[in-house]
Amino acid sequence: MPEKELTVADLSESGLLARIFPRLESSSSVLLGPGDDAAVVAAPDGRAVVSIDTQTQDQDFRLHWNNGYRSTGYDVGWKSAAQNLSDINAMGGTATSLVVSLTMPGETPVSWVEDFADGLTAGIAGLGAPDCSVAGGDLGRGREIAVTVAVVGTLHGREPVLRSGAQPGDTLALAGTLGRAAAGLALLESSVPLESLTPEQRALVDSQCRPVPPLAAGPLAAAAGATAMMDVSDGLMRDGGRLAKASGVDLDLDPIALKAQANALEAAASLLDADPMDWVLGGGEDHGLLAAFPAGILLPEPFTAIGSVRAAAGAGRGVVRIAGESAETVGWDHFAD
């Protein structure tokens, strides 16, 4: 007879915490970790960069996908780390600590929570953030699983890179990828069974479930003099429009650079009979960095040029064009905000 699976309802809060704590790493930035009313983290230049983000079951992730994949706690933990670390990266900073609130139904398996803690830890390490660790958290009950992470980081004594500083003539550059997570989402929501996917297609699913934002790139961009930056979490057209609007400029994208991104998605596009450019222009969640740099400077690794910043043609509405053509003309305006 199979044993009944242990659920969070079977444990006290302290019992559940005793399962979680051994799965977390510590870092030198966390001066006082979990166990008191609050944690204490280092803020060496006298400022802290801070952001918050929630993932809710069936809104931001599914436990069971149409193609048979089951999102693990590990996936959700990894993705929570990635999304939040990316927000600090996008300011030119480096994350130093996370505080994590996890609410869930009583019937949630304890193994899911352990897996979540493992995913958080692996995400922090795997994304290259060795100075960051979980400083504290909160456990609670709810009708659905919801994970909220707040992240604290340091700017290394530099000014933050905002969305609002792009200048006409700047080079528009990208670090990381576009459309991989969106292609992976399309595969997850398709009826093509998980087991039948090629390794290349499966890697796109991984990009959705466990994204790998380019975490070293933000501080490098800040040091190199980036004039504006943000992470692409809602898609290039939409987020590019936000950067353009905040800066009072227009953006012009290079179709050759976009095509290179689209080519990497062919394995999914041909299978699903989709246009990969939809994912490149409309897909978020790869958490690449979109940044503007003064023309002529050597772009820091791993940034590559994907277009240019132009003077606003129409009252600073923040228009994003492709090779000088409006998005309406080339058929991509449905991704604009």
CA gap 95, 181 in Å, rounded: 23
CB of 43 to its own copies, least distance (A): 3
* C-beta of residue 303 within 8 angstroms of C-beta of residue 221: yes
Q: Which two tokens stand for residue 103?
A: 């609410």
Question: Which residue number, 211 or 276, has a Cβ lying nearer to its own copies?
Answer: 211
> Phi and psi for 287 in degrees, rounded to 5?
55, 40
CA gap 322, 302 in Å, rounded: 22
Question: Which residue number, 178 or 232, has a Cβ lying nearer to its own copies?
Answer: 232
Q: Report CA-CA distances (Å) from 28 to 36, 42, 180, 285, 297.
A: 18, 8, 34, 29, 35
Any bridge partners for residue 99, and if so which? 136, 150
The label of the residue with tokens 């991989």 reads: 180
CB of 175 to its own copies, least distance (A): 14
* C-beta of residue 318 within 8 angstroms of C-beta of residue 246: yes
The response to whether 75 counts as a known ligand-binding position is no
Question: Which residue number, 73 or 218, has a Cβ lying nearer to its own copies?
Answer: 218
Question: Which residue number, 4 or 143, has a Cβ lying nearer to its own copies?
Answer: 143
CB of 12 to its own copies, least distance (A): 8
CB of 325 to its own copies, least distance (A): 26
* C-beta of residue 268 within 8 angstroms of C-beta of residue 276: yes
The response to whether 275 counts as a known ligand-binding position is no
* C-beta of residue 280 within 8 angstroms of C-beta of residue 258: yes
Site for its own copies, rule CB under 8 A: 12, 14, 31-32, 35-54, 56, 58-60, 86-88, 90-91, 93, 97, 99-101, 103, 135-138, 140-144, 146, 148, 150-153, 155, 160, 162-163, 230-231, 246, 337
The response to whether 137 counts as a known ligand-binding position is yes
CB of 144 to its own copies, least distance (A): 5
Q: Which residues are annotated as part of the binding site?
A: 37, 51, 53, 60, 87, 137-138, 163, 231, 233-234, 285, 332
Q: Which residues are annotated as part of the binding site for ATP?
A: 137-138, 163, 233
Q: Which residues are annotated as part of the binding site for Mg(2+)?
A: 37, 51, 53, 87, 138, 231, 234
